[in-house]
Amino acid sequence: MGRLVGWLSTALLVGVLVVFAAIAVPRWHRARVTTASTGDSYPEPIPNGPPPALAARRDARAEVRPAVSLSGTPPTEEELRASVRGSNIVIVVMDAARSDHLGCYGYPRDTTPNIDRIARQAVVFEDHFCQYPCTSPSTVSLFTGQYPDTHGVKPPSGHAALLAAHPVDERAVTMEGLLRANGYWTCLFSGNPAASPAVGVGTDFQLAFPAYGKHPQKQWTQAAHHRSDSVKMLLDAIGDALAAAGGEHRFFFYIHFLPPHSPYRAPEEFQSLFRGKTPPNHREGKAAFTLVSTRERTAQPPKSTDEWVNLYDANLRWADWGVGEVERMLKERGLWEQTLVIVTADHGEAMREHGYEWHHTCPYDEAIHIPLLIKFPGGRGPVGRISALTETVDIMPTIADLYGLKYPSDGPLGTVPQGKSLVPLLTGAATRVRDYVFSRTGGHWACSVVRNHEWSLLLYTGGKLRALYDLGSDPGQTYNALADHPKVAETMAAAFESHAKAQRVPPLEFLDPNYRPPAETQGQGESLSGETKSKLRALGYLD
Ligand SMILES: [Zn+2]
């Protein structure tokens, strides 16, 4: 009997083990394979749909814009430099302003009446692109004229790390440092802490408002993100600075308005202009590949895309009001015609055109095609439109060239600007300064963009995922034409390789088929020091 019970117990135990193994092992195995293969599984292409109609393609190709179209006789180089001599410099950045939502870039809504008026006396750059659709790296490219893979500021593991102490070479020539050394009073007014000395951006300015670095928590609360008077707050500080300058000191003001960036706290007078209406020209769509992350952890967009676009447009109108106020204050002091004014953005904003929400990870035009206007002082400079390809990195070398500011141009990578002076375009001496523009995103499935007027090539890390868009027939970038035009993609990838190899840290992972992206992280600042973490926590960027 005892032996029988023992035998039955053993049989039962073996049976349980067999059943357990049959159920659990495959699950364990599957789980293990999934985990282990995070870096090996590639996204699938999203079904492409029919290609754009050939008729549309022919029509689009027939419409060729002149590269440089200036009214009257363009100035000579000497005349151009004489037109800015002794003038002040004001750069206004509207955070996350995409060019196609400005009236002077063809948007049918009245989002930017002040900027449109200024544009009629300025040079409008129609095909201008940012280097990175993210505030810190883009602003550093503006100040240094360097590409992100050279200046080193990027968000390598999500949102938090972008606020880490930045490794910009301390010998780097910066716009504010150069102007300061040449007698300018340099002031930064920023509604976004990600474009402030608190995170190592714009550290050479003599005055920074608000003083983010000293009491991060207090200043963050006081700053733009949660106030409907954030634009006015900067304007008040600018007014004080103008009074302090007293019309005697030449100044360089960098003004960074947080809107149209979220949150959407535009005063009611701007929100009521667009609320409940149907946005023009807006179409939702998908990215070229599955799995590529299109949603950002920090984005909390409105559920309805129409509502989102309306709120965004109201915020843009708010930023435009700020630009108009800057103009009014300069005019009141008789400084408007003694000031070079540049209006631009650090990046655009994706509102589900390709599934992407917000901007950091989106490689499409909605996130990288930005406005650029240059208004010369005293009505003496050029006026018109330029469609040659230009980039954020060009602004610093252009200012240096216009004002005759010298710096050692043969310094090592990371210390000198890499952009091109736009002076040859402004005098009509050239119709192009480059063949391609380059932008990039970061994080898991980072993407590099190579773009000219006709094509946009997206290269994801690992070199296997590529998408090519024929912008002539498909400006909305909806049809991946890679299989139809392999030679075009090859030529553009070769151009990217040359560009990549000219960077301080060449981003060759976009071409390397053996590269495996790291497992996706949630950007909790894994590589940050304890001190930086506590600073970020105080700023509200870390849980
Ligand atoms: Zn930004």
Indicate if the pLDDT at residue 213 is higher than 70. Answer: no
Positive or negative, the Cα torsion across 528, 529, 535, 538? positive
Mean pLDDT throughout 262-281? 94
Q: Which residue has the higher pLDDT, 524 or 80?
A: 80
Closest CA to 365 of 100, 59, 92: 100
pLDDT grade for 513, boundaries at 50, 70 and 90: confident
CA distance 192 to 242: 21
- Distance (angstroms) between ligand 1 centre and the Cα of 531 equals 24
Least confident among 226-230, 241-245, 422-426: 226-230
Indicate if the pLDDT at residue 312 is higher than 70. Answer: yes
Cα(first)–Cα(last) distance of the chain, in Å? 64
**Residue 181 is which amino acid?**
A
- Distance (angstroms) between ligand 1 centre and the Cα of 12 equals 65
Both tokens of residue 268?
């009611």
- Distance (angstroms) between ligand 1 centre and the Cα of 148 equals 15
Residues with Cβ < 8 Å from 386, sequence gap 6 or more? 67, 68, 69, 70, 123, 124, 125, 126, 422, 425, 426
Indicate if the pLDDT at residue 216 is higher than 90. Answer: no
pLDDT value at position 113? 98
Q: Which residue has the higher pLDDT, 354 or 443?
A: 354
The per-type count for the chain, helices as H runs and strands as E runs, is: 16, 18
- Distance (angstroms) between ligand 1 centre and the Cα of 446 equals 18
Positive or negative, the Cα torsion across 299, 305, 309, 315? negative
> In sequence order, which ranges of 391-529 are alpha helices (DSSP H)?
395-402, 423-426, 486-501
pLDDT value at position 60? 52
CA distance 399 to 259: 25
Q: Is 106 exposed, middle or buried (0-12, 13-18, 19+ CB in 10 A)?
A: exposed
In this structure, the number of other CB atoms found within 10 A of the CB of residue 121 comes to 13
- Distance (angstroms) between ligand 1 centre and the Cα of 490 equals 32
Helix, strand, coil tally for the chain in percent (to 5): 40, 15, 50
In this structure, the number of other CB atoms found within 10 A of the CB of residue 423 comes to 18
Partners of residue 211 on adjacent β-strands: none
Q: Which residue has the higher pLDDT, 515 or 25?
A: 515
- Distance (angstroms) between ligand 1 centre and the Cα of 359 equals 8
pLDDT grade for 64, boundaries at 50, 70 and 90: low
| DSSP assignment of 133-158 | SSHHHHHHHHHH---HHHH----TTS
- Distance (angstroms) between ligand 1 centre and the Cα of 278 equals 26
Report whether 142 contacts 392 (CB < 8 A): yes
pLDDT value at position 93? 98
- Distance (angstroms) between ligand 1 centre and the Cα of 539 equals 16
- Distance (angstroms) between ligand 1 centre and the Cα of 360 equals 9
- Distance (angstroms) between ligand 1 centre and the Cα of 9 equals 68
Q: Which residue has the higher pLDDT, 472 or 93?
A: 93
Residue boundaries of the structural domains of the chain: 65-434
- Distance (angstroms) between ligand 1 centre and the Cα of 137 equals 9
Closest CA to 80 of 334, 340, 432: 340
Report whether 427 contacts 82 (CB < 8 A): no
Report whether 175 contacts 184 (CB < 8 A): no
pLDDT grade for 290, boundaries at 50, 70 and 90: confident
- Distance (angstroms) between ligand 1 centre and the Cα of 234 equals 16
pLDDT value at position 65? 75
Least confident among 55-69, 409-423, 461-475, 489-503: 55-69
User: In whole numbers, what is the pLDDT of the chain averaged over residues?
Assistant: 84
Indicate if the pLDDT at residue 289 is higher than 90. Answer: no
- Distance (angstroms) between ligand 1 centre and the Cα of 293 equals 19
Least confident among 142-156, 176-190, 260-274, 499-513: 142-156
**Ramachandran region of residue 523, left (φ > 0), alpha (ψ -120 to 50) or beta?**
left
CA distance 118 to 398: 20
Say which DSSP state 165 is in.
P
Indicate if the pLDDT at residue 263 is higher than 80. Answer: yes
CA distance 429 to 426: 8
Q: Which residue has the higher pLDDT, 498 or 11?
A: 498
Residues with Cβ < 8 Å from 359, sequence gap 6 or more? 96, 133, 134, 347, 348, 349, 350, 367
- Distance (angstroms) between ligand 1 centre and the Cα of 421 equals 24
Mean pLDDT throughout 225-235? 77
CA distance 492 to 450: 7
Indicate if the pLDDT at residue 454 is higher than 80. Answer: yes
Indicate if the pLDDT at residue 144 is higher than 90. Answer: yes
- Distance (angstroms) between ligand 1 centre and the Cα of 163 equals 12
Least confident among 14-23, 70-79, 119-128: 14-23
- Distance (angstroms) between ligand 1 centre and the Cα of 257 equals 9
- Distance (angstroms) between ligand 1 centre and the Cα of 92 equals 13
Report whether 162 contacts 361 (CB < 8 A): no
- Distance (angstroms) between ligand 1 centre and the Cα of 250 equals 28
Indicate if the pLDDT at residue 57 is higher than 90. Answer: no
Indicate if the pLDDT at residue 27 is higher than 80. Answer: no
- Distance (angstroms) between ligand 1 centre and the Cα of 346 equals 5
- Distance (angstroms) between ligand 1 centre and the Cα of 188 equals 15
- Distance (angstroms) between ligand 1 centre and the Cα of 194 equals 8
pLDDT grade for 380, boundaries at 50, 70 and 90: confident
Mean pLDDT throughout 425-441? 96
- CATH number for 65-434: choose from 3.40.720.10, 2.40.170.20, 3.30.950.10, 3.40.50.720: 3.40.720.10
pLDDT grade for 52, boundaries at 50, 70 and 90: confident
pLDDT in tens, 82-125: 999 999 999 999 999 999 999 999 999 999 999 999 999 999 99
Indicate if the pLDDT at residue 528 is higher than 50. Answer: no
Residues with Cβ < 8 Å from 52, sequence gap 6 or more? 470, 473, 474, 478, 479
Q: Which residue has the higher pLDDT, 87 or 71?
A: 87
- Distance (angstroms) between ligand 1 centre and the Cα of 183 equals 29
How far from chain centre, in Å, is Cα 235?
24
Report whether 329 contacts 238 (CB < 8 A): yes
